[in-house]
Structure 1
């Protein structure tokens, strides 16, 4: 009797598992290929040329916009006319690629305390984000981070170096 009960339990389990299996789709998707991502092609008077840059990539962003960086005056985070022009070109590119996400980094020069510069860098990044949002870029696509004075682009303790370090940088993610 025990053998019959075990056989019934095993048989029932096999039927239950077989009934839960997924059916194979009628058409299978193509196998992954070993091809490179699509490249941007431009036309010159001599014919099409390949730039090697994928549309919507970080490299495409760098080539297409006026600049990825806006600069600020000492202790300021307002968007001046020069920054508006740069951010308008970024907003146009971001409108062209609505699935691209960006991080906006806020930076400061070496003067001031660490805490003050982190707060100022945050205000610069958010001012940049708010301007891009006012130009139609979805705010959920943008994140901000403040590095304060921790990541200078120019090393030096002079006005020229400080001016380069007071900035907000738009970085394409992924």
Structure 2
């Protein structure tokens, strides 16, 4: 995984925060077409809509998964979630709310910073790690209205600290603690 993330290819695109600032500051620039989505037509397939419970993301309870009295039924839910969805929400995993909260808070603080600060951790050509956008493979691809920060956390020896923010000062520790806790869950 670490080598794949370092070798992922993506076309460079404008920073979303800078684009939004330009648009919000009264500039007469048109939004780039790549950031505009058309409304789906009646013939196009809708992936998920409404409050239909069949569209709800599967929830797997780790306590039930390890409890011999309920593990077979929870295991069947896990198999179904993996087969039909490819992902699920895990509850009762044992990662402390404070650990999760600290990481969320530090990520929010990172993204609130000025662009120049975030660009200290910018992705480099040919790499997925760092701050920016990824998975841009064509010049006419529709783009997301969001930048990302991708850092490798496991295995620890594959971490590249050039892409780890030092602001806020607690960021690296929050990522390390969260990574350690979730590794135990795994």
TM-score bracket for the superposition, by shorter chain length: under 0.3
TM-score by length of 2: 0.22
Bigger relative CO (Cα 8 Å, ≥ 6 apart) = 2
Q: TM-score, normalised by structure 1?
A: 0.23
More strand by share: 1
Structure with bigger gyration radius: 1
